[in-house]
Amino acid sequence: MAERVAVIGVGQTYHRSKRDDVSIAGLVREAAVRALEDAGCTWDDIDAVVIGKAPDMFEGIMMPELYLAAALGAVGKPMLRVHTAGSVGGSTAVVAAHLVAGGIHQRVLTVAFEKQSDSDAMWALSVPQPFSAPLLAGAGGYFAPIIRAYMRRSGAPLDTGMRVAVKDRLHALKNPYAHLKMPDISMEKVEESVMLWDPLHYLESCPSSDGAAAMVLGSEKAAAQAEASTGRRPAWVHGMAMRSEPTMFAGRNQVNPQAGRDCARDVYAQAGITNPREQLDCAEVYVPFSWYEPMWLENLGFAPEGEGWKLTQSGATSLDGGDIPWNCSGGVLSSNPIGASGMLRFLEAALQVRGLAGEHQVEGARKALGHAYGGGAQFFAMWVVGADRPE
Amino acid sequence: MSDQTYVTKDPRGPVTQLATPMRLDYLFTAGLSLSRNLRGYQRAEFVGQKCPVCGKVYVPSRGSCPVDGVALTEEVPLKNTGTVTTYCVVNVPFAGQSIKIPYICAQILLDGANLSFMGLIQECDVEDIHMGMRVEALWVDEADLVPSLASVKYFRPTGEPDADYETYREYL
């Protein structure tokens, strides 16, 4: 990485199932304004805007970045759109960070959003094609068979997913921005909820949210100015990477995809991490369906293959006493504005190492992982951020 | 104008959202490779394509092996039978759904193929479906055959003993 990159400001909306008080432009602007305020800068200070969202089919607005340029102060400035399905929030942040790392810009505003109430994602994901049968019933229908394969391979206890569903909703109670607030969440409640895509219960699945996330990424100089004017320290990017693989090929490991393993290896090498469970203080990982916590624990090297569920079962990933808390914000299981969900992981990781996560802060967090995945678990984006400026 | 607010007298309040259903019709150009596959469906046959490098058989094929990056030239006729590698039971209603819920959506590895694809299982209780179950394709009536997977009515259990886990574990 040529130039050091810092997260100097972050902003997000209060995620809800329906924000009918704002249009998409109003939604993204809300997050962007909060990020600018946090960074102590104005629209004029921004050199470029990098924006991402899930496929245009969702809201039915083609190339929404064109009409959002005005709302995001991008008129007359470089603006770039990123497309990597559900992982897009993470990829968008990485692309924006590259513009700073490459020495091109001093401050880049990066934004991601989804307005699911304007959209029918289930329909958009179930388009008939001549070479496939129209059976999918949304993302859950795609991932449930892969989850079943994980259960078979690992022999994980059947309540593993339910534990994640409860834990992440308890975490969400500490995050004012989280969409789902379920103070009475319990294993019984999850088990009693409708089996939507057997083996996945309703409460083991993410909600549909309206929301946006934004970050101001800056150079070393911009970081120093932001800290001097706001008194809030930045988060430093220690490593970032993206990887992808085809959805279908013979011998593809769908449970533990190679692209995810390769992406993690790359980002850890950049950040000097050899043992993620020990060297990271927390992680914000894209878990839209409960069972993806144990699966990604293995894919990201926090546990050996087949043993991720042991960490979940032992409480290791809980903010309440766990040694490696995952998704202290409540994660995707508690707020899912699809395009923004990946950026929220990156943003929450930055909040943790800045010490600004409030009630869901991991005490003394110095290094955190932000992770996003998308498509048929084929697109991956990750970064490791730290409280210390990298050498 | 800018500081004027329009106040509606309608008791339902102002309009905040408008549903505008849309329809997009695509002309799908299948290309040479997928065409062979789709023509197979029109004859009630599964046609696989074999990679000249790794020897894996793809169905449906998009014309190249994603691992070796070479064109798949050899056609391999496949049987009507296969194994359920994994599955889920769909119990969620959605717009445009054509099948009554709950239904079984399974990954089916056809005999002789090296890639599974998603298929509907019927004539099987949702309680009875399991990994390794042997199934066969039931095609639509001859007059209704079309060059798409719609020619496969559904898959159903054959009643044979289950496939051994080792025969399909690498396809999970």
pLDDT digits 0-9 by tens, B23-68? 778 888 888 888 999 999 999 999 999 999 999 999 988 789 999 9
Which has the higher per-residue pLDDT, B95 or A151? A151
Chain B: residue whose CA lies nearest to A117: B17
pLDDT band at B3, cuts 50/70/90?
A: low
Interface A:B, Cβ pairs < 8 A: 129
Q: Which of A132, A141, A248 sits opposite B149 (nearest CB)?
A: A132
Q: Within a 10 A sphere around the Cβ of B135, how many other Cβ atoms?
A: 27
pTM value is 0.95
pLDDT score at A119? 87
Contact A198/B97, CB-based, under 8 Å? Answer: no
Which has the higher per-residue pLDDT, A179 or B21? A179
Q: Which residues of chain A have a pLDDT value below 50?
A: none
Quote the CA–CA distance of B112 and B45 in Å, as a whole number: 13
**Of residues A296, A123, A289, A139, the one with CA closest to residue A206:** A289
pLDDT score at A124? 79
Provide the 8-state DSSP code for A232.
P
Peptide bond into A294 cis (omega under 30): no
Contact B88/A198, CB-based, under 8 Å? Answer: yes
- For residue A140, which residues of chain B lie inside 8 Å, CB to CB? 88, 92
pLDDT band at B10, cuts 50/70/90?
A: confident
Cβ contact A383:A239 at 8 Å: yes
Provide the 8-state DSSP code for B164.
P
Q: Within a 10 A sphere around the Cβ of B122, how many other Cβ atoms?
A: 13
- For residue B114, which residues of chain A lie inside 8 Å, CB to CB? 250-251
Average pLDDT, chain B: 90
Chain A: residue whose CA lies nearest to B171: A251
Q: Please give the ipTM for the structure prediction.
A: 0.90
- For residue B127, which residues of chain A lie inside 8 Å, CB to CB? none
Longest CA span, chain A: 59
pLDDT band at B15, cuts 50/70/90?
A: confident
Chain B: residue whose CA lies nearest to A201: B91
pLDDT band at B1, cuts 50/70/90?
A: very low
Question: Which of B53, B92, B151 is the best residue to mutate to test the A interface, defined by the most A CB atoms within 10 Å of its own CB?
Answer: B92
Question: Which of A135, A203, A206 is the best residue to mutate to test the B interface, defined by the most B CB atoms within 10 Å of its own CB?
Answer: A135
Q: CB under 8 Å to A365, separation ≥6 — which residues?
A: A281, A282, A352, A353, A355, A357, A387
- Domains of chain B by residue range: 31-171
Q: Which of A117, A134, A153 sits opposite B172 (nearest CB)?
A: A153
Q: How far is CA A100 from the centre of its chain?
A: 21
Q: CB under 8 Å to B115, separation ≥6 — which residues?
A: A248, A249, A250, B56, B57, B58, B59, B109, B171
